[in-house]
Amino acid sequence: MTGTAAEASLPVRAGHVARGGLLAAVLLALASLSFWAPTFWVSIAIQALILAIFAMSIDLLLGYAGLPSFGHAAFYGTGALVCARLALASPGLGILPLVGISVAGAALLAVPFGALSLRVRGVYFLMLTLAFGQMLWSVAFQAPREWLGGSDGLIGVVRPSLGLLQRFDEQLWLAVGVSPGVAAVRHFYNLTLVAAVLTFVALSLLVRSPYGRTLEGIRENEHRMRALGCPTFRYQLAAFVVAGALAGLAGSLLTLFNGFANSSSLYWTNSGLVLIAAIVGGVRTLAGPALGAFVVLIAQDTLSSYSERWPLLLGAMFVGFVLFLPNGLLSAGRALRGLTRARPVELRR
């Protein structure tokens, strides 16, 4: 809570400049990706960006609020299924209302889900969120065909046009001589990138706001915050709902990319995958989970193209990360920098 005042008085450090430069370089590379990368890699990058939005959303819960949810796929899947159901029911709907309603649906679900799960903490919270998430999957899995399409899922979702902007973007591609299908993929990549960047910016602002600082205060000492008169439950529930909404955003983008959705997007392995992505990159950094999403997705894709045993290798990789690099890749980078740069000897520990 007092962090903002203390930080404002700090001089601008070289580290901040370096970090800003790195961020700008990454953004530039991502923004230009649709111009130079092969279409196959563009579609991998789309999936990675979607997973990155999903992973950043769980970082708000896991890193900042200190609430490790193992049921986050519930909101991802809800976003995906609501989007597909809605797109099939009313084909004329524009992309913004479509995504907006999917996000709202996921947020709405997060209210009772969060309110019930927040009755417990720690490992019990993990267990409860997992159980609730799986229950939801199980209900969706067994839902009547006319609702969610049974085991096939909802197929034949047509991506609504973004109107003039899309026409312009795609005409540009067609002018260079790529086929309409490829142009559509590259256009959707740009759209996903905008969504991911907006998510990153919004979450960065949120965690630096008084609300975010309070959330971290609750993570560090819930009893004290409550004694200070802070309505901790409301703060945590709000974090749960925001994270759920953003996971819903990721889910709805997934449906628009794939053109279908089924109940497996609710499945608990997705909750595990997104947690792993966050851990691989490094929690409580927002950029880390986004990086982790790229690493996990590229690893999954590379392994599955080389070996039939890729689930085994991926699982082993997860185990390795948990055992040997629990603070994530960003922390490894920091440790390497520490090795190469001379530092004043730390006297106190």
Q: Is residue 275 close enough to count as binding other proteins by CB under 8 A?
A: yes
Contact pick of 124, 231, 302, 335 for other proteins (by CB under 8 A) = 124
The rounded distance, in Å, linking the Cα atoms of 213 and 120 is: 22
Contact pick of 16, 119, 208, 224 for other proteins (by CB under 8 A) = 119
The first and second tokens of residue 48, run together, are: 């990675």
261 in helix, strand or coil? strand
The rounded distance, in Å, linking the Cα atoms of 266 and 284 is: 24
Identify which of residues 144 and 180 has a Cβ nearer to other proteins in the complex: 144
Shortest Å distance, C-beta 292 to other proteins = 12
Q: Is residue 311 close enough to count as binding other proteins by CB under 8 A?
A: yes
82 in helix, strand or coil? helix
Q: Is residue 138 close enough to count as binding other proteins by CB under 8 A?
A: yes
Contact pick of 88, 314, 325, 329 for other proteins (by CB under 8 A) = 314
Contact pick of 18, 28, 120, 335 for other proteins (by CB under 8 A) = 120
> Cβ(323)–Cβ(93) under 8 Å?
no
> Cβ(252)–Cβ(95) under 8 Å?
no
Find the distance separating the first CA and the last CA of the chain, reported in whole Å.
Answer: 24
Q: Is residue 318 close enough to count as binding other proteins by CB under 8 A?
A: yes
The rounded distance, in Å, linking the Cα atoms of 46 and 50 is: 6
> Cβ(288)–Cβ(281) under 8 Å?
yes
Q: Is residue 91 close enough to count as binding other proteins by CB under 8 A?
A: no
Identify which of residues 190 and 285 has a Cβ nearer to other proteins in the complex: 285
Contact region with other proteins (CB under 8 A), list: 94-102, 134-142, 172-180, 226-234: 134-142
| DSSP letters for 36-77 | HS-HHHHHHHHHHHHHHHHHHHHHIIIIIS----S-THHHHH
Do strands 154-155 and 260-261 pair parallel, antiparallel, or not at all (unpaired)? antiparallel
Contact pick of 135, 202, 205, 335 for other proteins (by CB under 8 A) = 135
Q: Is residue 143 close enough to count as binding other proteins by CB under 8 A?
A: yes
Shortest Å distance, C-beta 74 to other proteins = 12
Shortest Å distance, C-beta 243 to other proteins = 15
Quick count: other Cβ atoms within 10 Å of Cβ 139?
12
Mark out the alpha helices in the chain (DSSP H runs): 3-8, 14-36, 39-59, 73-89, 95-117, 122-142, 145-148, 164-176, 180-208, 210-220, 222-227, 232-258, 268-281, 287-306, 310-324, 329-340
Q: Is residue 70 close enough to count as binding other proteins by CB under 8 A?
A: yes
Q: Is residue 158 close enough to count as binding other proteins by CB under 8 A?
A: no
Contact pick of 131, 178, 197, 230 for other proteins (by CB under 8 A) = 131
Q: Which class for 108: exposed (0-12), middle (13-18), buried (19 or more C-beta within 10 A)? A: middle
Identify which of residues 134 and 199 has a Cβ nearer to other proteins in the complex: 134
Q: Is residue 88 close enough to count as binding other proteins by CB under 8 A?
A: no
Contact pick of 31, 202, 205, 322 for other proteins (by CB under 8 A) = 322
Contact pick of 81, 203, 279, 293 for other proteins (by CB under 8 A) = 279
Contact pick of 50, 53, 128, 290 for other proteins (by CB under 8 A) = 128
Contact region with other proteins (CB under 8 A), list: 3-11, 103-111, 155-163, 275-283: 275-283
Residues that bind other proteins (CB under 8 A): 62, 68, 70, 116, 119-120, 122-124, 126-128, 130-132, 134-135, 138-139, 142-144, 268-269, 272, 275-276, 279, 309, 311-312, 314-319, 322-323, 326
